[in-house]
Every structure is written in C-alpha cells, then in structure tokens.
Amino acid sequence: MSEGKGYRGPKGTYDVYPGGREPHERPELWAFVESVARERFRRYNYQEMRLPVFEEAQLFIRSVGEASDIVRKEMFLFQDKAGRELALRPEGTAGAVRAYVEHNLFKQAQPLKLWYYGPMFRHERQQKGRYRQHTQLGVEVLGSSDPLVDVEVISLLYDLHQAIGVREEVVYLNNLGDMETRRAYVPELRAFLEENRSELDPDSVARLDANPLRTFDSKDPNTQSLLDEAPTIGEFLSEEASAHLGTVREGLETLGVPYEIDERLVRGLDYYTMTVFEAKSAALGAQDTVGAGGRYNGLISTLGGPDLGGIGFGTGVERILLAAASRDAAASTRAFFVTLTPEARMLAFGLAAALRAEGVSCDLDYADRSAKGQFKQADRVGADFAVILGEDELQDGVCKLRDMKSGEERTVSVSDGGKDLLRAVAN
C-alpha cells in the first residue's frame, strides 16, 4: 500500500468517517462535542475567534520558548515561495495573543473572553491519545489578572469535560509564581540539583541549565525520589502569588471543582506564570492529560502589546472522546422511499424534494436494490416510515405509507405534490 498504488493518510493522522472504530473516528461524537462546547462557551459568555493554522515560525519560538521541546523538535516547519519561515501551529495561545495585539483588541472592554477550535500539529511519534494532527478546543481570557478569572477558566474546562462525560477526572493545580518568586526559587532548586547531579537521569541533567523546573517532569524513579527532598516552590511564593493561589483555591472549592495541589506540576511551554493546571483522566493511557493551561502574564507584552495578563486552556478533543464513556447514536431518517417500478423513481425524487424543503429528512435508493433490499435499507437508516410507490400506487396517484415500527400501512394521496404526505409524515 505504501508504494505505487493506494494512498494512506500521513503518519500520525486519522480520519473521521461513518463506522469509524475509535471514538475520535466517529463523526457523531465530534458533532456531540462541538455542540456541547458551543453551548458551554455561550453560557460563560466567550466569543469565537478563528485563526490561521500556520504562522511565522518566530511567533512560536518567542512565545512557546526556544528551549521547549515543542519548538526544538516538534514543529512542522516550511518556507513559502518568498522564503518566509512558517510553522503549522503547535498550539493555540500564540496565535490568539498575536491577533489580540495585531488588532488592538486590548482597546475593547477588558477582559476579552475568547474561544477557538481547530487542528494543532506536532511532529511526534504517535501513541494512544497522541497524533501529529490533533484538535484542540481552547479559551483565552486576555486583559485581566484577576484570580477569579483563573477560577472561571478552570471550572469551564472541568464543566466542559463533565458535560461530555470524561471519566475519573482530577484537576492538578500549581502556582509557578511571578518573576520575584522564580528569582528566589530557581537558584535554590538548581543548587539542590547540582549537589545531587550524580543521581539524576541524563534528561534531567540536560535540563538543569536551561530550565531546572522541568526536572519535575521526569518519570525516572530515582530522580523522582530525589525530588521528594527538593525545595518546593510553595515555600518561595511571593505574598502576591500566595494570595493569588489562595483565591483560586477558594474559588474552586466554592464551585465544587475537585482539584489537587501538585507542587511538581510544571509545564513544557515557557510562557506560563502563576497559575498552571492540568486536567487528567485515569481512563486514558500514558498520555493522560485531557486538558491543560495556565496564566501567562508576560506574553502579551512580549508579543508587542501592553503589559496585561492572560490565561487560557487547551483541551484535546481526541483525548476527551477517549476518556469519555462511549455512546451510540442511532441513525435517524424520517422517511425512506421504496420504489417498486422504475417509473416511480422520478415521482419519489420529487416527493423527497418536497419533504426536504419542509425540513423532513428523507432518502431513497440509489443502488438499484430489490424491494426487499430497499426495505432493509430503510431499516438500516432508521427510517420511521417507508413510502412505497409501485405500479398500483402510480395508477391511483397514491403511496402506501408504512410505519416501520408497527408495520401498519395506510394509503396517502400524492397527487397534490406531496402536501398530504407531508402532513402524514410530519409530527
């Protein structure tokens, strides 16, 4: 299949199609998620934004961070014909903030509460819940540093997941502090790690200089047990950061969002400050983060805007569907036309058009099926009614209307362009 004949989707991608096996391959589940998400965003008063799927590569390098894995090894990079360095977006925040600054949206009433939805691209080896093209629902609240905004964003994430049916979800919360906190904490952590350098795994040693906070991401057991002894950021939080965290916790408790403080929670994107959070589901595999985000109080000014705060989350739709209890959506069509003679097909087609024009879903056979086959198809598409047109019916200007559930049939006139049929089929 890989050579000569037959194409496959690119490595690390998947298709959504009728009969798809995995939850994220089933169109009806996507439609469900999309409708729930839109409804939640409406309730919380978020407005939609639509952004390009590629941007100048430099935008991501500056915002996500040169040292981050996303920038260092996971971006799809390409040049356009004029030689511009572009990248398929690996995440949504950079583009949203770029648009916010570019269109002077900070001049509107603040904060601006935004949501977006679309594909993200990362050049990674795929595994359960991880694809090279995946889809994120995201929100950004720009122009406020109010801790209650943090509460709203986190609770919206949780609410959204619960409305869709994510199982065994826990939100992990941490505060990475402001610059003051980091200036005090990072040297202490680095000193501790240097002292114990010989006990660290190679990846952690490599991270020591660039970003010692990331050592906490290590899954190496030795490193993890060593980190039990490490100084924690909680001891170093500035008064402001500490108060901020306190308000966020109080807010989450007020709203009943289940969360746990995890002082080892750091994030792989460099723009985060203060509040960071990850929603995990035990129903997933090793990639158990179903949604995550945090505050980025320096990002707007870094990208050329005013010194305003922002916070957002991204949540992966594929992982939501994987973590949610699977559901079955029954097919549903109001009426299926069964034609028993070729002469009836054009009449059926006209009647179908008349019903469709009035909002009634209906269909007919395009596969030259036998009568039996057409009834079988009617059953398969979940038709409530079969509209039967044979020689006798044509002669009398009627159809037989069969209730597929009860099997009862009655005769309905079709000589009036379908008005009687519409009445009989409508509910």
Partner RNA sequence: GUGAUCGUAGCUCAGUUGGCAGAGCAUCGGGUUGUGGUCCCGAAGGUCGCGGGUUCGAGCCCCGUCGGUCACCCCA
Backbone angles phi, psi at 376, to 5 degrees: -60, -40
Site string for RNA, 51-90 (x = CB under 7 A): -----------------xxx---x----------------
Q: How far is the CB of 44 from RNA (least distance, A)?
A: 19
Choices 6-14, 146-154, 185-193, 356-364; region in contact with RNA by CB under 7 A: 6-14
Nearer residue to RNA within complex by CB, 100 or 375: 375
Nearer residue to RNA within complex by CB, 304 or 373: 373
CB atoms near residue 357 (< 10 Å): 10
Residues 187-206 that bind RNA (CB under 7 A): 203
Alpha-carbon distance values, 284 to 17, 101, 152 (Å):
23, 37, 25
Q: How far is the CB of 346 from RNA (least distance, A)?
A: 17
Q: Could you give the angle at which helices 57-64 and 93-102 cross, rounded to 10 degrees?
A: 110
Q: How does 210-249 read in b/e, with b if 16+ C-beta sit within 10 Å?
A: ebbbbbbbbebeebeebbeebebbbebbbeebeebbeebb
- Candidates 325, 371, 397, 416; binder of RNA (CB under 7 A) is 371
- Which stretch of DSSP H or E encloses residue 100? helix 93-102
Q: How far is the CB of 260 from RNA (least distance, A)?
A: 16
Under the criterion CB under 7 A, does residue 319 sit at the interface with RNA?
yes
Read off the tokens for 71.
């920038």
- Candidates 39, 85, 194, 391; binder of RNA (CB under 7 A) is 391
Site string for RNA, 143-182 (x = CB under 7 A): ----------------------------------------
**Residue 94: is it exposed, middle or buried by C-beta count within 10 angstroms (0-12/13-18/19+)?**
buried
- Residues 70, 124: Cα–Cα separation, whole Å: 9
- Candidates 103, 197, 380, 419; binder of RNA (CB under 7 A) is 380
Under the criterion CB under 7 A, does residue 27 sit at the interface with RNA?
no
Residues 109-138 that bind RNA (CB under 7 A): 122, 124-131, 134, 136
Q: How far is the CB of 299 from RNA (least distance, A)?
A: 13
Q: How far is the CB of 112 from RNA (least distance, A)?
A: 21
- Candidates 366, 367, 423, 427; binder of RNA (CB under 7 A) is 367
- Residues 397, 344: Cα–Cα separation, whole Å: 11
Choices 77-85, 165-173, 185-193, 382-390; region in contact with RNA by CB under 7 A: 382-390
Residues 279-298 that bind RNA (CB under 7 A): 285-292
Closest CA to 379 of 426, 330, 423: 330
3-state class of 412 per DSSP? Answer: strand
Nearer residue to RNA within complex by CB, 82 or 366: 366
Under the criterion CB under 7 A, does residue 312 sit at the interface with RNA?
no
- Candidates 246, 379, 410, 417; binder of RNA (CB under 7 A) is 379
Any bridge partners for residue 195, and if so which? none
CB atoms near residue 322 (< 10 Å): 22
